[in-house]
Amino acid sequence: MAVLTTLGLVLTGCQANPGDAPTVEDQAPATDIEDGAGDADDTDQGDSSVAPELRRIEIGVDSVPADLNPHLVSTQSMLTSTVAELTLPSAYRRGPDGLRHDINNDLLDSVEIDEGDEDAPEKVVYVINSRAQWSDGTPIVGSDFEYLHQQITTQPGVTSTELYDSVDEISTSAGGRRVTVTFDSPTAQWRELFANLLPSHIYRGENRPFSTMMSDIPAASGGVYTVRQYDAGRGTLLLERNTRFWGQIPPRTDQLEFSTVNDTDTAAQMLRTGQIQAVTTRNSGVAAESIRTVPGVQARTTTLRRQLTLQLNTASTRLDAPDARAEVLAAVDADRVARLVTGHPRATAPQDDLVADVAGPTTGEQGTALAGVSRKRPLQIGADTLDEEAVEAARRVVDTLVDKGIPATVVTPSATELYADLLPRGEVDAVVTWQDDARRWTDLRSRYACDEADRPLSGTSGGDSVDTDVGAGESGATTSGATGDTDSTDSTNSTDGTDGADGADGADGAGDPGDRGSTADATAERARAANVTGICDDTVDALLADEPEGGSLEAVPEELRVRIGELHLSLPLVADRVLVGAGPDLVGPDQDLSEWPIGPRSGPFYTADRWTRIDTDTEPDTESDTESDTTTTPSAEETDDE
């Protein structure tokens, strides 16, 4: 048995027992943690001379997300990712390249390879730190691992499905502190699993719906911060130091407050007066110049690895053939959509380098492939009613389609309705949603392989119409979290949820891109997840099964790129391009903002727990006015452009 990392700690302390979830006895007084105990560099936290206002960093943002669940396709955003990284524990830490490499020693004492090798094990044993606990004092145990796996493999609209589908069994022992995970085959990207764990004793114990359970203040934290206040409608989100955090390196600042700032002029004035210490905005054009001209403020632009994408629904009776989908994609002016959504006159739509550009029909008036589309039966382009940018992009897509003679309209239901009802039933023809760039082979499989997981439909549609171009709101349908024994300490959980699934049987005619059999039949009875389009194609599945060593995307076979291109499934519309401004009273990882690490998901907030605030009236000015547009060669973890 290979042990990857061991801290040499003796597993002592309070263990989880059957019955009500126990509380971990504090091994260090909460006041010690509040004073920054355990981090010699955090002397500012233990210095009583630091003014209370300097223990709070205020940040202006375009909007506060309507949901903080990081595991949903519909909630992907820079701020959602940031909150998850700062409040939810993960088995491995995410590096600046977006991948997880290093064990999280705060959560785990060790990780042991029980079967197979480190690159692609078949059985892995996680030993949880005996001090690891949620902010309510409940130990973090194996049931939290089980709960996340269960939700990812059964709920609609979730991300990262492929890796969790490879888990065959999860068992726990040693009072829930020892978690044994068995895979159905050697699994290369296993370190990406069990990221942003959730408190199962609350969410599963109270049977909260997975799709909406984090639309309010999250139930508990297992990270350096906890969510103290959260009101998406008012545009406020306050993170506060988690006084029960047991790790060796607490955050350097007591509070991080994110607030919506209505416009760039207001943001510039608030930076000028010190009301906010930083600002992030997707608004482009004159915004960059407006922020940069404020004395003492540094600014940079960066493009995160996330895109707003138009994804066509293969279950739609009008778009079940590749020729019809190609006609729609050819009619959409993606660059125009990018300019209108971002407000940047030079914005262009991003390119998907992993998909070959396969020519479809010539752009023009509606052709024969879309014969079923008419003014009475226009194409239905969906977007989550809570995602303002997705809704705006959907409206612009409709404008371009109508301009080309293709009748279309926008529908804005809830995310639950989209993924658990309208998409699988073929009642919307396409959807606009955010999508992370693929970084691993499993990302491609999550996106394009047949999804045979048992994700039940919500059953809310029944042929009912959906409100057009207005927020449809909640339909009343919810998908409740799976029930189970949340307090079991020594258990085995078989994860085979595919009984009765016959997904591959419906993929007839996959060899011909003009055939209609390679799509909806196999997935019609299942809600959608990371495979938003619902594509189920024999050729694609066969090519995806031949995973390269280590699961790298450095050499995606041309045959796979071409085949996906032939299916005409999606079109990138808008890159997640962010302007960052930092005031002179904000101290980050480097004096030069252009040298700050940028997370591919959390952006400039990748190091937010290391930020501090100074009093510029008394502190020497060590930062010169810098106008940084970061025009150096982009690294693997970021691309900066103008």
Amino acid 579: pLDDT: 93
pLDDT at 329 over 50: yes
Most confident of 132-136, 248-252, 351-355, 436-440: 132-136
pLDDT band at 91 (very low <50, low <70, confident <90, very high): very high
Q: Does residue 535 lie in a domain region?
A: yes
Compare 573 and 370 and report the one with higher pLDDT.
573
> For residue 371, how far is the Cα from the chain centroid?
37
Q: Does residue 529 lie in a domain region?
A: yes
Amino acid 589: pLDDT: 94
* Cβ–Cβ under 8 Å, residues 604 and 594: no
Q: Lowest mean pLDDT: which of 63-67, 129-133, 626-630? A: 626-630
pLDDT band at 78 (very low <50, low <70, confident <90, very high): very high
Q: Does residue 197 lie in a domain region?
A: no
pLDDT at 367 over 80: no
Residue 341 CA neighbour count, 13 Å, CB half: 32
Q: Is 3 helix (H, G, I), strand (E, B) or coil?
A: strand
pLDDT at 299 over 50: yes
pLDDT at 634 over 80: no
Amino acid 48: pLDDT: 57
Amino acid 282: pLDDT: 86
Q: Which residues of 72-92 are buried (b: 16+ CB within 10 A; e: fewer)?
A: bbbbbbbbbbbbbbbbbbbbb
Mean pLDDT of 522-533: 80
pLDDT band at 175 (very low <50, low <70, confident <90, very high): very high
The end-to-end CA distance of the chain, in Å, is 51
The residues, any chain, with a CB within 8 Å of residue 359's CB and separated by 6 or more, are: none
pLDDT at 548 over 60: yes
Condensed to tens digits (0 to 9), the pLDDT of residues 16-36 reads: 333 344 555 444 333 333 333
Q: Does residue 1 lie in a domain region?
A: no
pLDDT at 318 over 90: yes
pLDDT at 561 over 90: yes
- What letter represents residue 228's amino acid? R
Q: Lowest mean pLDDT: which of 79-88, 178-187, 523-532, 588-597? A: 523-532
Condensed to tens digits (0 to 9), the pLDDT of residues 408-429 reads: 999 999 999 999 999 999 999 9
The CA distances from residue 33 to 10, 29, 397, in Å, are: 22, 7, 51
Q: Which two tokens stand for residue 383?
A: 């977007």
> For residue 596, how far is the Cα from the chain centroid?
22
- What letter represents residue 573's amino acid? L
- Listed in order, strand segments (DSSP E) in 129-196 are 167-173, 178-183
pLDDT at 159 over 60: yes
Q: Which two tokens stand for residue 390?
A: 């997705």
Compare 360 and 252 and report the one with higher pLDDT.
252
The residues, any chain, with a CB within 8 Å of residue 582's CB and separated by 6 or more, are: 277, 278, 297, 298, 299, 588, 593, 604
Q: Which two tokens stand for residue 77?
A: 């955003």
Mean pLDDT of 54-80: 95
In sequence order, the β-bridge partners of residue 139 are: 133
Query: Number of H helices and number of E strands within the chain?
Result: 15, 21
Q: Characterize the bridge pairing of strands 298-312 and 570-582.
A: antiparallel
pLDDT at 258 over 60: yes
Q: Does residue 369 lie in a domain region?
A: yes
pLDDT band at 497 (very low <50, low <70, confident <90, very high): very low
The CATH code of the domain that includes 411 is 3.10.105.10
* Ramachandran angles phi, psi of 389, nearest 5°: -70, -40
Rg of the chain, C-alpha, whole Å: 25
Distance between CA atoms of residues 42 and 45, nearest Å: 6
Mean pLDDT of 632-642: 37
Mean pLDDT of 543-556: 84
The residues, any chain, with a CB within 8 Å of residue 618's CB and separated by 6 or more, are: none
Distance between CA atoms of residues 413 and 382, nearest Å: 7
Amino acid 362: pLDDT: 54
Q: Does residue 239 lie in a domain region?
A: no
Mean pLDDT of 93-107: 90
pLDDT band at 161 (very low <50, low <70, confident <90, very high): confident
pLDDT at 405 over 60: yes
State which residues form the domain around 547.
307-473+503-571
Count: domains in the chain: 1
Distance between CA atoms of residues 612 and 518, nearest Å: 54
Amino acid 6: pLDDT: 40
* Cβ–Cβ under 8 Å, residues 260 and 39: no
pLDDT band at 520 (very low <50, low <70, confident <90, very high): very low
Q: Does residue 138 lie in a domain region?
A: no
In the predicted model, what is the mean pLDDT of the chain? 81
Q: Does residue 72 lie in a domain region?
A: no
Q: What angle do CA 452, 455, 461 make, to 5 degrees?
A: 125
Mean pLDDT of 305-328: 95
In sequence order, the β-bridge partners of residue 306 are: 436
